[in-house]
Amino acid sequence: MNVKDLVSKMTLQEKASLLSGCDFWHTTAVERLGLSEFMMCDGPNGLRKQEGETDHLGLNSSISTVCYPTASAVASSFDVDLAWKLGQTLGRECQRENVAMLLGPGLNMKRSPVCGRNFEYYSEDPYLAGKIAAAYVNGIQSEGVAACPKHFAANNQEYRRMSGNSTVDERTLHEIYLTAFEIMVKESHPKSIMCAYNQLNGTYLSENKYMLTDVLRDKWGFDGFVVTDWGAGKGPKEGVEAGLDLVMPGPRDDHEKAIIKAVESGELAEEKVDRAVTNILNTLNWTLENKKDYGPSTDETRALDYAFAKELAQESAVLLKNENKALPLKDGNKILFVGEFAKAPRYQGSGSSHINSAYVSNAVDSARAAGKEISFALGYDSRNKDLKNSYILLEEAVEAAREADIIVIFAGLPGSYESEGFDRKDINLPPEQDKLIDELSHQGKKTVVVMHNGAPVAMPWIESVDAVLDMQLAGDAVGDATVSLLWGDVVPSGKLAESYPFKLTDNPSFLNFPGDGGNPVYAEGIYIGYRYYEKKRRPGLFPFGHGLSYTEFEYSDIKVSKDSITDKDNVDVSVEIWNIGRYLAKEVVQLYVSPGSSKVSRPYKELKGFTKVELSPGEKKVVTFTLDSRAFAYYETKIHDFYVPSGDYSIMIGSSVNDIRQTAEVHVESTSELPITFDQFTAIEDILDTKKGQAILGPVLQQMNDGMGESEDDDALGEGGAEMFEKMILEMPIINLASFGILSTDEVNGILEKLNG
Ligand code: BGC
């Protein structure tokens, strides 16, 4: 298809018709020109292809298929290769099902643990989310299927998600809420992107030119098409003007008519409509050129997909606690499984990502199928919370526990707690589960808790249990994966991609979530997640990046390729990892950068590299990271871009954000200065921070200082007085040199003239 030629042949009405869908899941066809429609479907943790009644809330059924671990779990694998393979696997399935575009991944930041959709998002850290998202998008698109990452951007809660206004300052927006999108766009060139429902700083994202054009296209080089979230379209003309291309779902005759009217009345330039049509057709054309004939899904393809879902679940599970050698379980021990989730596990979230699973494994059946001897007690019944019934079930579990050596309790959040469309009220488990765990953990037996959750939960019983294995929302293979991890056939290697606080009130967004009337002010700024907990030195239940193993790793021999670099250079950092335990296992090696003293407020540590490495018992490997200038940068509003200030930076390598094992120092010298206009109220230290300031004001101050040294009054300043005086001078606006009679106003103005000259 020659897109340019085609657009030139289209009537205005045909063009306008293309700017909204023809139904819930398809673009509009133009038969006269042989232009077909194309289908988009939800994911992102499986394919939700609806063939009957359609909806965007996961209510009506879709094809029966494999459900993979949710995004929150995938990020916990810290494995970009697996994220890529998940994308590729889904891309293939889309090809089999004639789906041209998959609506995912979701990569919004986890500002609060109670956002109803946290299971659908990757992390509270933009670097991790961006890298995983880029790999996933590259995987999908490697199969000739378009990806549509979402929801662009600052869409971090479900409460009033369709109308709320997120107020976010420029630095926070770029440094936290846009960085993941930026990495993903630059590293994977998605063919589409979905704008969010909400407003950002007073403008709906579907009409936000700054976001859709200035940042997305002009700054980052995005060249796909922008589609609205389902039902997020507002003014047709305003949308196109801002850089929006497609409004979904359709049909939307009103949209088509409004576009035609706006062009005919001269309010909207037809070239802008052409741009939107061209963007959509470029993607359509690309998918047609890359159409593959894999034939339909078969039992064999489903089995392979299930095996991959199991691998992903194994790699995503996080061993939060393991004391008294509770895990792995040993054959020969009497093991009791307790809890509803042991038979009917929670394995995915609710809403538009809901997958119609063909088969879901559960731990009881999986364990028995693997030849493990286990007994089972229900412990509680979520459908019948009648006091008497609850008492009987709890007593039965306690009775069964007496016969057991080890109790494994299956707990987690029910589906009604975590969903698209609403946020959680708190981070608690259902009370009957807390009670069950508390009771069973006091029976004098080893107690293991297996969690099923898409976001952090409080664990008031944490001190009394021996081990916690967090399966997250692990997809269809949850039961099989859990059993393989519990018995140590596979060693847990996932790490938390979101900090677990003790209490919801510890979270930095707490005072401003969900905001009055659903209009949150992101007052905590850049300090979300571990950036806050680390800066405040405030420990949580489990930190970002935390995850144990059945083996142990020793870190040694950190090396940096250069001690001193400029902001234009890269630096390599290597470290040696040694498996000193008895299991073949994987470790996620994490690299954080910590700025030394800084004039601007900066996080104590920020993730700037990670890699997952597999080691046999006794094996050592050297892991190398390459850091570029962005690893040392913050977003500077004076230049509306990232900036690296000169200074000393610590490179910290560890096993979690607060388990740093090796540290090295690098000095970075900036090759550019921030623009500054000097006036009477510029602080002296800001002037001295510039080369020009040092050259012009430096000698004047030196002279002043020398003069004071000779003064007889010097002793009057007392011990440390000179230092105090210097500090006071440095923080003063330059005009105060005149106010205090040190220089005349004319002399100050003369200095300013030279500085600005
Ligand atoms: C969700 C999107 C989803 C769309 C289509 C919306 O409600 O926010 O993530 O892709 O529906 O189902």
pLDDT of the residue at 717? 57
Answer whether residue 718 shows pLDDT above 70.
no
Q: CA angle, 148 as apex, 147 and 154 as ends, to 5°? A: 145
Mind listing the pLDDT tens digit for each residue in 59-85? 778 999 999 999 999 999 999 999 999
Element housing 6 (H / E) = helix 3-9
Distance 304 CA to ligand 1 centre (A): 28
- Ligand 1, atom 11, lies closest to the CA of 56
Contact 115 CB / ligand 1 (< 6 Å): no
Query: With pLDDT > 70 as the criterion, what percentage of the chain qualifies?
Result: 98
Ligand 1 touching residue 276 (CB < 6 A): no
CB 352 less than 6 A from any atom of ligand 1: yes
Q: How far apart are the CA of 230 and the centre of ligand 1, in A?
A: 6
Q: Whose CA is nearest to atom 5 of ligand 1?
A: 56
Q: Are 485 and 316 in contact (CB under 8 A)?
A: no
Q: Is the pLDDT of residue 713 over 70?
A: no
The closest residue, in CA terms, to atom 8 on ligand 1 is 229
Please tell me if the CB atom of residue 56 comes closer than 6 angstroms to any atom of ligand 1. yes
List the chain domain ranges: 314-536, 553-669, 684-756
- Whole-number pLDDT of residue 724: 75
- CA 333 – CA 336 distance, rounded (Å): 10
- Among candidates 556, 572, 602, which has minimal Cα distance to 666? 572
Quick: pLDDT tens for 585-603: 999 999 999 999 899 999 9
Name the average pLDDT for the chain.
96
Return the ∠ at Cα 248 (arms to 246 and 253), rounded to 5°. Answer: 85
User: Closest Cα partner for 402 from 486, 487, 334?
Assistant: 334
Mutate to test the pocket of ligand 1, among 150, 229, 350, 354 (most ligand atoms within 8 A of CB): 229
Confidence of residue 231 (pLDDT cuts 50, 70, 90): very high
pLDDT of 703 over the 90 cut: no
Measured CA angle at 412 (ends 409, 417), to 5 deg: 155
User: 446-452 and 467-470 as β-strands: parallel, antiparallel, unpaired?
Assistant: parallel
For the record, the structure tokens of 149 come out as 């990452």
Task: Identify the pLDDT of residue 53.
Answer: 77
State which of 24, 60, 103 you would mutate to test the pocket of ligand 1, scoring each by most atoms of that ligand within 8 A of its C-beta: 103
Mean pLDDT of 203-213: 98
Q: Which two tokens stand for residue 214?
A: 């200035």
Could you identify the atom of ligand 1 that is nearest to the CA of residue 120?
A: 9
Q: Which residues contact 537 (CB under 8 A, 6 or more apart)?
A: none
* 42 C-beta closer than 6 A to ligand 1: yes
Report the atom number in ligand 1 closest to the C-alpha of 150: 9
Both tokens assigned to 757? 């000259």
Across the range 598-617, mean pLDDT stands at 97
3 state DSSP class of 615: strand
Question: Is 90 exceeded by the pLDDT of residue 455?
Answer: yes
Complete DSSP assignment for 542-553: B-TT--B-SS-E
What would the two tokens of residue 691 be?
């080369």
- The fold of 553-669 is Immunoglobulin-like (2.60.40)
CA of 50 from ligand 1 middle (Å) equals 13
- pLDDT reported for residue 55: 75
- The Cα–Cα gap between 234 and 151 comes to 16
Mutate to test the pocket of ligand 1, among 24, 45, 54, 56 (most ligand atoms within 8 A of CB): 56
Mean pLDDT along residues 208-235: 98
Is residue 482's pLDDT more than 70? Answer: yes
- Specify whether domain 314-536 bears CATH 3.20.20.450: no
Predicted pLDDT at 52: 76
pLDDT of residue 709: 61
> How far is the centre of ligand 1, averaged over its atoms, from the C-alpha of 131 (Å)?
23
The rounded Å distance from CA 142 to ligand 1 centre is 23
pLDDT more than 90, % of the chain: 93
Q: Which residue lies with its CA nearest to atom 12 of ligand 1?
A: 56
For the segment 501-510, what is each residue's pLDDT rounded down to a tens digit? 999 999 999 9
Say if ligand 1 is within 6 A of residue 229 CB.
Answer: yes
E strands within 528-658? 553-560, 564-566, 571-579, 585-595, 606-615, 620-627, 634-636, 641-643, 647-656
pLDDT reported for residue 58 = 72
For ligand 1, the distance from its centroid to the CA atom of residue 192, given in whole angstroms, is: 14
User: Sheet holding 101-103: strands in order across?
Assistant: 40-42, 101-103, 146-147
> Pocket of ligand 1, candidates 42, 48, 62, 158: which has the most ligand atoms within 8 Å of its Cβ, to mutate?
42
Q: What is the pLDDT of residue 715?
A: 56
Residue nearest to atom 7 of ligand 1 (CA): 56
- Predicted confidence at residue 727, as pLDDT, reads 80
pLDDT score at 747: 95
pLDDT at residue 151, rounded to an integer: 98
Say how many Å lie between the CA of residue 389 and the centre of ligand 1. Answer: 40
Going by alpha carbons, the residue nearest to atom 9 of ligand 1 is 352
- Kindly report, residue by residue over 82-104, the tens digit of the pLDDT: 999 999 999 999 999 999 999 99
Q: Among 223, 212, 113, which residue's Cα sits nearest to residue 500?
A: 113
Q: Say if ligand 1 is within 6 A of residue 103 CB.
A: yes
H or E segment to which residue 146 belongs: strand 146-147
Query: What is the set of active-site residues?
Result: 229
**Is the shortest distance between the CB of 150 and ligand 1 below 6 Å?**
yes
